[in-house]
Amino acid sequence: MENFVYNGNPGRVIFGHGTVARLPEEAERLRARRILVLSTPEQAGQAADIARHMGSSVVATYSKAQMHTPVEVTADAMRVVEEHAVDALLTIGGGSTTGLGKALAFRTDLPQIVVPTTYAGSEATPILGETEGGRKVTKSDPRILPEVIVYDVDLTMTLPVSLSVTSGINAVAHAVEALYAKEANPIISLMAEEGVGAIARALPLIYSNPKDEVARADALYGAWLCGVCLGSVGMALHHKLCHTLGGMFNLPHAQMHTAVLPHAVAYNADATPQAMARLSKALGVADAAAGLFDLANGLGAAMSLKDLGMPDDSVEVAVEQAMSNAYWNPRALEKRGLTDLLERAFRGEPPKAV
pLDDT tens-digit map of 59-96: 999 999 999 999 999 999 999 999 999 999 999 999 99
Cα 81 to its chain centre, rounded Å, is 25
What is the per-residue pLDDT across 306-316, written as a single tens digit (0 to 9) for each? 999 999 999 99
pLDDT mean over 134-141: 89
Query: Tens digits of per-residue pLDDT, 292-347?
Result: 999 999 999 999 999 999 999 999 999 999 999 888 999 999 999 999 999 999 99
Q: Are strands 88-93 and 112-116 parallel, antiparallel or unpaired?
A: parallel
Same domain, 258 and 148: no
Same domain, residue pair 180 and 296 = yes
Tell me, yes or no, whether 6 lies in a domain: no
State whether 226 and 146 are in the same domain.
no
**314 burial via Cβ count (<10 Å: 0-12, 13-18, 19+):** middle
Helix, strand, coil distribution of the chain in percent, nearest 5: 60, 10, 30
Is 233 part of a structural domain of the chain? yes
Same domain, 224 and 126: no
Do 248 and 310 lie in one domain? The reply is: yes
Query: How far apart, in whole angstroms, are the C-alpha atoms of residue 165 and residue 170?
Result: 9
pLDDT at 49 over 80: yes
Domain co-membership, 187 together with 313: yes
pLDDT of 1 over the 80 cut: no
Q: Answer whether residue 2 is part of any domain.
A: no
Is residue 353 in some structural domain? no
Query: Do 256 and 181 lie in a common domain?
Result: yes
pLDDT given for residue 11 in this prediction: 87
Cβ 40 vs Cβ 96: under 8 Å = yes
Burial class of 11 by CB neighbour count within 10 A (0 to 12, 13 to 18, 19+)? middle
Angle, helices 71-83/95-108, rounded to nearest 10 degrees: 60
What are phi and psi for residue 137, nearest 5 degrees?
Answer: -120, 135
Can you give the pLDDT at residue 136? 87
The DSSP secondary-structure symbol of 119 reads S
First to last CA, the chain: 31
174 and 291: one domain?
Answer: yes
Q: What is the mean pLDDT of the chain?
A: 95
Q: How far apart are CA 181 and CA 83, in angstroms?
A: 42
Q: Residue 2: pLDDT above 80?
A: no
**Domain final residue, candidates 128, 156, 184:** 156
Q: Is residue 5 part of a domain?
A: no
Residue 351 to residue 354: CA distance in whole angstroms: 9
- Tell me the CB-side half-sphere exposure of residue 57, using CA atoms within 13 A: 20
Same domain, 112 and 173: no
Domain boundary among 156, 182, 197: 156
Q: Hey, CA dihedral for 204, 210, 212, 217, is it positive or negative? A: positive
The rounded distance, in Å, linking the Cα atoms of 62 and 131 is 19
pLDDT above 90: residue 180: yes
* 228: nearest Cα among 280, 254, 278, 193: 193
| Separation of alpha carbons 339 and 223, rounded Å | 30
Residues 135 and 26 in one domain: yes
Per-residue pLDDT band at 10 (split at 50, 70, 90) = confident
- Using alpha carbons, select from 87, 25, 94, 97 the residue that is nearest to residue 63: 97
Same domain, 255 and 287: yes
pLDDT of residue 14: 98
Provide the residue range defining the domain that includes 106.
12-156
Residue 148 near residue 11, CB atoms below 8 Å: yes
In a domain, 354, yes or no: no
CATH number of residue 287's parent domain:
1.20.1090.10
Provide mean pLDDT across the span 166-172. 96
Q: Are residues 248 and 128 in the same domain?
A: no
Any idea what the CATH number is for the domain that residue 53 is in? 3.40.50.1970
Q: Angle at the Cα of 317 (from 315 to 321), degrees rounded to 5?
A: 115
Is 352 a domain residue? no
pLDDT band at 194 (very low <50, low <70, confident <90, very high): very high
The strands making up 35-38's β-sheet, listed across from edge to edge, are: 12-16, 148-152, 112-116, 88-93, 35-38, 58-62
263-280 confidence digits (pLDDT tens)? 999 999 999 999 999 999
Indicate the number of domains in the chain.
2
pLDDT in tens, 210-241: 999 999 999 999 999 999 999 899 899 999 99
Of 156, 188, 213, the domain-final residue? 156
Which positions ≥6 away from 301 have C-beta within 8 Å?
162, 165, 166, 169, 255, 258, 259
- Split at pLDDT 50, 70, 90, the class of 6 is confident
Predicted TM-score (pTM) above 0.85: yes
pLDDT for the residue numbered 353: 81
Is residue 4 in some structural domain?
no
